[in-house]
A and B are shown apart, each in its own frame.
Chain A
Amino acid sequence: MNEINFLPLSGIAVIVLGFAMRFNPLLVVTAAGLVTGFAVGIDFIALIATFGEKFMNSRQLASFLLILPVIAILERYGLQQRAKTWVASIKGATTSRILSIYFVVRECAAALGLINLAGQAQTVRPLLAPMAVGAAANQYGDLPQAVKDMIGAHAAACDNIAVFFGEDIFIAFGAVLLMDAFLKENGIAGIEPLHIGLWAIPTAIAALVVHLFRLARFEAKIRTEIARCQQQTKQASATDDSTTMFKEGSL
């Protein structure tokens, strides 16, 4: 076995450290490029020109900018408010049903490029989480805080998972364009962003199936969690009672 040359890997160390230390990602990535270039002995001018060449050659990544005016004008005339009205109108007696419907629609919307239609701040916090908690409260009465938290966390997770696994189907999303640019830069021709988007569909469907399955079982989990909390409070109040009795006795 011949010696491994570790110098070209120095940029990766810069990336890992830089991201971990929360420096601005653009700065980290540029620094990683500079360090890699210096480590393998590319001269400065040639390195800057390489930066320029590669940046120029990946301009297709900015084509998502073309979509923003459309989204912007629709938002100006109430697109997000319309989405909110829709979320608020989800009918369904149970928590898991509300979350499931939201999940399906959110993933489909993301696949069509409507990634910012909803979100943690826009819809989960003001609408989805309260609705999901409300449905459970309707069914089981007053909920312990731990159960409310658990339902809230599930609402947030629904939004994340649905968007993540829907968005890569949309051909003008950054990830798809990045993959496309990477393949072209490495001399692999004949792949269109559309192909990459199509191959995102199987995992997107798997995400849908897996998460809906978990949500279907979530209702039972809420019941056991409520029971567990009630038991705990009972035990706690029982010990409270005994200590107060003990105190009274000692008085």
Chain B
Amino acid sequence: MKSVEQAPEPLALLSINNVYLLIGFIVMFLVIKTLQDSAHPKRLSTALFWFLFGSVFMFGDVSITLVGEQITYLWVGVSVIVIALLAGMNMVSMGTYDVPDEQFKALDAKRFGNKLFIPAVIIPIVTVICTIILDDLHLGTLYFFDQSHVTLSALTLACTVALLISWRITKGSPLQALSESRRLVDSIGWAAILPQMLAMLGGVFIVANTGTAIQDLVTLFISPDNRFMLVALYCVGMALFTMIMGNAFAAFPVMTAGVALPFLIQGHGAAPAPLVAIGMYSGYCGTLMTPMAANFNIVPAALLDLKDKYQVIKVQIPTAITLLIINIFLMYGVVF
């Protein structure tokens, strides 16, 4: 029975705010673990970095209720700038971790075998099932999943289930899992926050009407009625911008706000989901062709002792260009 909701936000058990709180708890737990890591080379600044990040999740919504949006947005904005400065001054680093040696892990791997893959595979399976079939599961007016963020609340449930299953398989408790995750979070480091920073920049671009300026620029060269040229411009633009910056995520808000959103979505009614998905992949074609994406293209050449440090890129170029062309035609074929 699917009722038409009049209320904007129906109550949900796994509401997005609860998911944020959970993320906040995880990050704060890692902050405490970082502070306890006495051999950590950048202990205090790394802890501060993650504390500021975690606060936005832990205290953000409470703060809006208590002191209002304006003050909350201000302190979050200040935190963002401090986060960027800490990262920019290279004050966030890996700590020290208690990791069993390779042999020990190989022994465990033998003991558990392919069972180790079960929890990891459970996550997407449970998420997809919940999103497609159980999305409007509810008891009276209380929904189980957040109705406007079904996938993410389903993901939260899936991760919890996977954590319990790993507990059963490996005897490693969820608390131990949390402690272990500090190694992963630290190895991702500032890059963990980059997507959110880029989304924020995309938001600033909206306020500053940057998209409009790009639109004006685009109309100088291409007729906004030519659907195919617009699609080609979006895909090739994503690839070129990514090649310059070495990062498809950074190219995405610029090209999408400037070309995809005004001309293709608003102008020609293109379907947003395939448009952005294929657009991002066009950016990835650029990633395969640029030395700017050093950790994918240059570092492996060094690891393998290749004489020509661009050889990995050279091998990747034919696949990248073929896929870019396929993307253009695919996008043209499916979005309209």
Chain B residue nearest in CB terms to A20: B244
- Over the window 154-190 of chain A, the binary record of Cβ atoms lying under 8 Å from chain B Cβ atoms (1 yes, 0 no) is 1111011100110010111011111101110110100
| Contact for A30 among B84, B127, B172, CB less than 8 A | B84
Q: Is the CB of A36 within 8 A of B195?
A: no
Q: Is the CB of B213 within 8 A of A4?
A: yes
**Is B44 an interface residue, CB under 8 A from the partner?**
no
| Contact for B194 among A29, A77, A199, A206, CB less than 8 A | A29
- Over the window 320-336 of chain B, the binary record of Cβ atoms lying under 8 Å from chain A Cβ atoms (1 yes, 0 no) is 00110011001000100
Q: Is the CB of B307 within 8 A of A145?
A: yes
| Interface magnitude class on chain B | 35 or more
Segment among B34-42, B204-212, B226-234 that sits at the interface with chain A: B204-212
**Is A140 an interface residue, CB under 8 A from the partner?**
no
**Is B236 an interface residue, CB under 8 A from the partner?**
no
Task: Write the nearest CB–CB distance from A193 to chain B, whole angstroms.
Answer: 4
- Over the window 298-336 of chain B, the binary record of Cβ atoms lying under 8 Å from chain A Cβ atoms (1 yes, 0 no) is 011101111110011011101100110011001000100
**Is B32 an interface residue, CB under 8 A from the partner?**
no
Q: Is the CB of B73 within 8 A of A52?
A: yes
- Residues in B neighbouring A65, C-beta threshold 8 A: 23, 26-27, 185, 192
- Residues in B neighbouring A214, C-beta threshold 8 A: 318-319
A124 to B275, CA, bound (A): 33
Dominant SS among interface residues on chain B: helix
- Over the window 224-236 of chain A, the binary record of Cβ atoms lying under 8 Å from chain B Cβ atoms (1 yes, 0 no) is 0000000000000
A205 to B245, CA, bound (A): 27
**Is B265 an interface residue, CB under 8 A from the partner?**
yes
Segment among A5-13, A90-98, A242-250 that sits at the interface with chain B: A5-13
A153 to B209, CA, bound (A): 44
- Residues in A neighbouring B247, C-beta threshold 8 A: 19, 25
A67 to B161, CA, bound (A): 11
Q: Is the CB of B306 within 8 A of A27?
A: no
Q: Is the CB of A185 within 8 A of B202?
A: yes
| Contact for B151 among A8, A183, A193, CB less than 8 A | A193
Q: Is the CB of A60 within 8 A of B303?
A: no
Decide: A72 near B155, CB < 8 A? Known: A160-B296, A192-B131: no
- Residues in B neighbouring A75, C-beta threshold 8 A: 180, 184
Of the candidates B192, B208, B220, B278, the one having the most CB atoms from chain A within 10 angstroms of its own CB is: B208
A161 to B316, CA, bound (A): 8
- Residues in A neighbouring B27, C-beta threshold 8 A: 65
- Over the window 94-124 of chain A, the binary record of Cβ atoms lying under 8 Å from chain B Cβ atoms (1 yes, 0 no) is 0000000000000000011110100011001
Decide: A175 near B248, CB < 8 A? Known: A30-B80, A73-B180, A112-B121: yes
- Residues in B neighbouring A186, C-beta threshold 8 A: 206, 257, 261
Which 8 A-B pairs give the minimum distances between C-beta atoms? Answer: A78-B109, A54-B203, A27-B88, A52-B76, A52-B77, A52-B73, A58-B199, A48-B77
Given pairs A61-B196, A62-B193, A68-B184, 15 additional interface contacts (CB within 8 A): A6-B213, A12-B210, A49-B73, A50-B204, A53-B203, A59-B60, A76-B99, A81-B108, A112-B124, A150-B315, A152-B304, A165-B281, A172-B123, A179-B276, A194-B132
